Amino acid sequence: MAGDASTVPVVTIDGPSGSGKGTISRLLMERLGWHLLDSGALYRLVALDALRTATDLDDEAALVALVGRMDVDFRLHPRRAEVVTLLDGEDVSMDLRTEDCAAAASRVAALQGVRAALLDMQRGFRRPPGLVADGRDMGTTVFPDATVKIFLDASAQERAQRRHKQLREKGISASLPALVAEIEARDDRDRNRAASPLVPAADAYRLDSTRMSIDEVLEQAVSLLGTKGLMHGPK
Protein backbone atom coordinates (compact mmCIF):
# COMPACT_ATOMS: atom_id res chain seq x y z
CA MET A 1 0.00 0.00 0.00
CA ALA A 2 1.38 3.41 -0.96
CA GLY A 3 1.86 5.84 1.95
CA ASP A 4 0.51 5.36 5.44
CA ALA A 5 -3.24 4.75 5.13
CA SER A 6 -3.73 5.24 8.87
CA THR A 7 -3.15 8.99 8.42
CA VAL A 8 -6.04 9.26 5.90
CA PRO A 9 -9.15 10.68 7.63
CA VAL A 10 -12.23 8.47 7.88
CA VAL A 11 -15.81 9.40 8.76
CA THR A 12 -17.93 6.38 9.72
CA ILE A 13 -21.72 6.37 9.42
CA ASP A 14 -23.25 3.32 11.07
CA GLY A 15 -26.83 2.44 11.81
CA PRO A 16 -29.77 0.27 10.79
CA SER A 17 -31.22 0.32 7.29
CA GLY A 18 -33.73 3.09 6.73
CA SER A 19 -31.96 5.45 9.13
CA GLY A 20 -30.85 7.58 6.17
CA LYS A 21 -27.16 6.67 6.45
CA GLY A 22 -26.79 5.76 2.77
CA THR A 23 -28.10 9.15 1.66
CA ILE A 24 -26.08 11.06 4.25
CA SER A 25 -22.91 9.14 3.37
CA ARG A 26 -23.29 9.95 -0.32
CA LEU A 27 -24.00 13.64 0.37
CA LEU A 28 -21.01 13.91 2.72
CA MET A 29 -18.76 12.14 0.23
CA GLU A 30 -19.76 14.65 -2.47
CA ARG A 31 -19.38 17.60 -0.09
CA LEU A 32 -15.93 16.50 1.03
CA GLY A 33 -14.78 15.14 -2.35
CA TRP A 34 -13.75 11.91 -0.61
CA HIS A 35 -14.09 8.20 -1.44
CA LEU A 36 -17.12 6.20 -0.36
CA LEU A 37 -17.32 2.70 1.06
CA ASP A 38 -20.82 1.21 0.97
CA SER A 39 -19.99 -1.86 3.05
CA GLY A 40 -23.55 -3.21 2.82
CA ALA A 41 -23.00 -3.48 -0.94
CA LEU A 42 -19.99 -5.75 -0.26
CA TYR A 43 -22.16 -8.19 1.72
CA ARG A 44 -24.77 -7.97 -1.03
CA LEU A 45 -22.03 -8.64 -3.65
CA VAL A 46 -20.90 -11.77 -1.83
CA ALA A 47 -24.54 -12.86 -1.72
CA LEU A 48 -25.11 -12.10 -5.41
CA ASP A 49 -21.95 -13.90 -6.45
CA ALA A 50 -22.98 -16.89 -4.31
CA LEU A 51 -26.48 -16.96 -5.82
CA ARG A 52 -25.07 -16.73 -9.35
CA THR A 53 -22.52 -19.47 -8.81
CA ALA A 54 -24.95 -21.65 -6.81
CA THR A 55 -22.62 -21.53 -3.79
CA ASP A 56 -24.27 -22.86 -0.63
CA LEU A 57 -24.99 -19.91 1.70
CA ASP A 58 -23.99 -22.05 4.67
CA ASP A 59 -20.64 -23.11 3.15
CA GLU A 60 -18.41 -20.60 4.93
CA ALA A 61 -15.16 -21.86 3.36
CA ALA A 62 -16.57 -21.61 -0.19
CA LEU A 63 -17.91 -18.10 0.53
CA VAL A 64 -14.52 -17.00 1.90
CA ALA A 65 -12.82 -18.33 -1.28
CA LEU A 66 -15.37 -16.44 -3.37
CA VAL A 67 -14.53 -13.17 -1.53
CA GLY A 68 -10.88 -13.72 -2.47
CA ARG A 69 -11.79 -13.88 -6.17
CA MET A 70 -14.23 -10.95 -6.25
CA ASP A 71 -13.25 -7.90 -8.29
CA VAL A 72 -15.27 -4.97 -6.90
CA ASP A 73 -15.42 -1.30 -7.79
CA PHE A 74 -17.71 1.65 -6.98
CA ARG A 75 -17.96 4.49 -9.51
CA LEU A 76 -19.93 7.69 -9.66
CA HIS A 77 -22.36 7.32 -12.57
CA PRO A 78 -21.30 9.71 -15.38
CA ARG A 79 -24.83 11.12 -15.85
CA ARG A 80 -27.01 10.21 -12.86
CA ALA A 81 -25.99 11.47 -9.41
CA GLU A 82 -25.56 7.98 -8.00
CA VAL A 83 -22.91 5.42 -7.24
CA VAL A 84 -22.80 2.28 -9.40
CA THR A 85 -21.37 -1.01 -8.18
CA LEU A 86 -19.25 -3.12 -10.51
CA LEU A 87 -18.65 -6.85 -10.03
CA ASP A 88 -15.96 -8.13 -12.40
CA GLY A 89 -16.55 -5.00 -14.46
CA GLU A 90 -20.33 -5.52 -14.77
CA ASP A 91 -22.76 -2.94 -13.35
CA VAL A 92 -24.79 -5.01 -10.87
CA SER A 93 -26.33 -2.08 -8.92
CA MET A 94 -29.91 -3.14 -9.68
CA ASP A 95 -29.32 -6.84 -8.92
CA LEU A 96 -27.99 -5.92 -5.47
CA ARG A 97 -31.29 -4.27 -4.50
CA THR A 98 -33.54 -7.31 -4.91
CA GLU A 99 -35.17 -8.89 -1.85
CA ASP A 100 -33.47 -12.23 -2.65
CA CYS A 101 -30.09 -10.57 -2.54
CA ALA A 102 -30.90 -8.67 0.69
CA ALA A 103 -32.03 -11.87 2.39
CA ALA A 104 -28.91 -13.75 1.27
CA ALA A 105 -26.71 -10.80 2.32
CA SER A 106 -28.10 -10.88 5.83
CA ARG A 107 -27.18 -14.60 6.03
CA VAL A 108 -23.61 -14.23 4.74
CA ALA A 109 -23.08 -11.15 6.96
CA ALA A 110 -23.64 -13.31 10.04
CA LEU A 111 -20.62 -15.53 9.17
CA GLN A 112 -17.43 -14.52 10.98
CA GLY A 113 -15.21 -15.95 8.21
CA VAL A 114 -16.91 -13.81 5.56
CA ARG A 115 -16.62 -10.71 7.77
CA ALA A 116 -12.92 -11.39 8.35
CA ALA A 117 -12.32 -11.95 4.63
CA LEU A 118 -13.92 -8.60 3.82
CA LEU A 119 -11.91 -6.70 6.42
CA ASP A 120 -8.80 -5.99 4.31
CA MET A 121 -10.90 -5.17 1.27
CA GLN A 122 -12.84 -2.59 3.31
CA ARG A 123 -9.68 -1.07 4.79
CA GLY A 124 -8.24 -0.84 1.26
CA PHE A 125 -10.84 1.85 0.49
CA ARG A 126 -9.01 4.18 2.88
CA ARG A 127 -7.20 6.37 0.36
CA PRO A 128 -6.37 10.09 0.22
CA PRO A 129 -7.96 12.55 0.54
CA GLY A 130 -10.38 10.66 2.83
CA LEU A 131 -13.10 8.07 3.20
CA VAL A 132 -16.76 8.10 4.19
CA ALA A 133 -17.59 4.55 5.34
CA ASP A 134 -21.22 3.48 5.55
CA GLY A 135 -22.26 0.31 7.39
CA ARG A 136 -23.01 -1.41 10.67
CA ASP A 137 -19.56 -1.92 12.20
CA MET A 138 -17.45 0.76 10.54
CA GLY A 139 -16.73 2.63 13.78
CA THR A 140 -16.46 -0.44 16.01
CA THR A 141 -14.50 -3.00 13.95
CA VAL A 142 -13.32 -1.81 10.54
CA PHE A 143 -12.09 1.73 11.35
CA PRO A 144 -11.88 1.97 15.15
CA ASP A 145 -9.48 4.93 14.73
CA ALA A 146 -11.90 6.95 12.53
CA THR A 147 -11.74 10.75 12.85
CA VAL A 148 -15.51 11.11 13.31
CA LYS A 149 -18.03 8.37 14.07
CA ILE A 150 -21.72 8.91 13.59
CA PHE A 151 -24.41 6.42 14.60
CA LEU A 152 -27.63 7.26 12.81
CA ASP A 153 -30.86 5.73 14.08
CA ALA A 154 -34.62 6.16 13.67
CA SER A 155 -37.65 4.37 15.09
CA ALA A 156 -38.69 1.11 13.38
CA GLN A 157 -42.07 2.72 12.56
CA GLU A 158 -40.40 5.68 10.81
CA ARG A 159 -37.97 3.45 8.90
CA ALA A 160 -40.83 1.25 7.76
CA GLN A 161 -42.70 4.33 6.56
CA ARG A 162 -39.67 5.48 4.57
CA ARG A 163 -39.35 2.04 2.99
CA HIS A 164 -43.08 2.00 2.25
CA LYS A 165 -42.80 5.35 0.48
CA GLN A 166 -39.75 4.18 -1.52
CA LEU A 167 -41.58 1.04 -2.63
CA ARG A 168 -44.73 3.01 -3.56
CA GLU A 169 -42.62 5.34 -5.69
CA LYS A 170 -41.36 2.27 -7.55
CA GLY A 171 -44.97 1.10 -8.01
CA ILE A 172 -44.56 -1.78 -5.54
CA SER A 173 -47.35 -2.20 -2.98
CA ALA A 174 -46.46 -3.42 0.51
CA SER A 175 -48.24 -3.60 3.84
CA LEU A 176 -46.92 -1.13 6.43
CA PRO A 177 -47.46 -3.42 9.46
CA ALA A 178 -45.61 -6.22 7.62
CA LEU A 179 -42.70 -3.84 6.91
CA VAL A 180 -42.56 -2.77 10.58
CA ALA A 181 -42.47 -6.42 11.66
CA GLU A 182 -39.77 -7.23 9.10
CA ILE A 183 -37.61 -4.29 10.19
CA GLU A 184 -37.99 -5.17 13.87
CA ALA A 185 -37.01 -8.78 13.17
CA ARG A 186 -33.94 -7.70 11.16
CA ASP A 187 -32.94 -5.19 13.88
CA ASP A 188 -33.17 -7.92 16.44
CA ARG A 189 -30.93 -10.20 14.33
CA ASP A 190 -28.40 -7.44 13.56
CA ARG A 191 -28.16 -6.15 17.14
CA ASN A 192 -27.93 -9.56 18.78
CA ARG A 193 -25.66 -11.55 16.43
CA ALA A 194 -22.32 -12.74 17.79
CA ALA A 195 -20.16 -11.44 14.90
CA SER A 196 -19.92 -7.62 14.83
CA PRO A 197 -23.39 -6.80 16.17
CA LEU A 198 -24.97 -3.46 15.27
CA VAL A 199 -24.00 -1.31 18.26
CA PRO A 200 -22.77 2.30 18.41
CA ALA A 201 -19.04 2.70 19.08
CA ALA A 202 -18.41 4.11 22.55
CA ASP A 203 -17.06 7.31 20.95
CA ALA A 204 -19.80 7.62 18.29
CA TYR A 205 -21.93 10.72 17.97
CA ARG A 206 -25.53 9.46 18.06
CA LEU A 207 -28.18 11.06 15.89
CA ASP A 208 -31.86 10.10 15.82
CA SER A 209 -33.33 11.02 12.44
CA THR A 210 -36.93 10.01 13.30
CA ARG A 211 -38.23 13.58 13.25
CA MET A 212 -35.50 15.09 11.08
CA SER A 213 -35.33 15.78 7.36
CA ILE A 214 -32.28 14.67 5.37
CA ASP A 215 -31.19 18.33 5.19
CA GLU A 216 -31.34 18.64 8.98
CA VAL A 217 -29.31 15.45 9.47
CA LEU A 218 -26.78 16.62 6.89
CA GLU A 219 -26.48 20.00 8.61
CA GLN A 220 -25.76 18.35 11.97
CA ALA A 221 -23.21 15.98 10.40
CA VAL A 222 -21.48 18.84 8.57
CA SER A 223 -21.30 20.95 11.73
CA LEU A 224 -19.85 17.98 13.63
CA LEU A 225 -17.22 17.48 10.93
CA GLY A 226 -16.53 21.21 11.13
CA THR A 227 -15.67 20.93 14.82
CA LYS A 228 -13.08 18.29 13.85
CA GLY A 229 -11.58 20.55 11.20
CA LEU A 230 -12.80 18.42 8.30
CA MET A 231 -15.02 20.95 6.50
CA HIS A 232 -13.46 23.82 4.61
CA GLY A 233 -15.66 26.86 4.02
CA PRO A 234 -19.36 27.24 4.78
CA LYS A 235 -20.59 24.87 2.00
Which residue, 207, 201, 187, is CA-closest to 141?
201
**Considering only residues 26, 136, 149, 164, which one is a binding residue for ligand DC as defined by CB under 6 A?**
136
Which residue, 46, 11, 7, 16, is CA-closest to 26?
11
Beta strands in the chain (DSSP E): 10-14, 35-38, 72-76, 83-87, 90-91, 131-135, 148-153, 205-208
Binding to ligand DC by residue 20, rule CB under 6 A?
A: no
User: What is the C-alpha to C-alpha distance for residues 184 and 195, in angstroms, rounded to an integer?
Assistant: 19
Closest to ligand DC by CB, 39 vs 93, is: 39
- Tell me the window of 29-37, 72-80, 103-111, 208-216 that interacts with ligand DC (CB under 6 A): 103-111
Q: Are 50 and 104 in contact (CB under 8 A)?
A: yes
Binding to ligand DC by residue 43, rule CB under 6 A?
A: yes
Pattern 73-102, ligand DC, x by CB under 6 A: ------------------------------
Question: CA Rg, the chain, in Å?
Answer: 17
Binding to ligand DC by residue 225, rule CB under 6 A?
A: no
Q: Do the bridges between strand 131-135 and strand 10-14 make them parallel or antiparallel, or are there none, so unpaired?
A: parallel
Binding to ligand DC by residue 44, rule CB under 6 A?
A: yes
Binding to ligand DC by residue 109, rule CB under 6 A?
A: yes
CB of 39 to ligand DC, least distance (A): 4
Closest to ligand DC by CB, 38 vs 225, is: 38
Would you report the helix, strand and coil content of the chain in percent, each value rounded to 5? 50, 15, 35
**Considering only residues 19, 106, 140, 209, which one is a binding residue for ligand DC as defined by CB under 6 A?**
106
Question: Which residues would be at the binding site for ligand DC (CB under 6 A)?
Answer: 17, 39-40, 43-44, 105-106, 109, 135-137
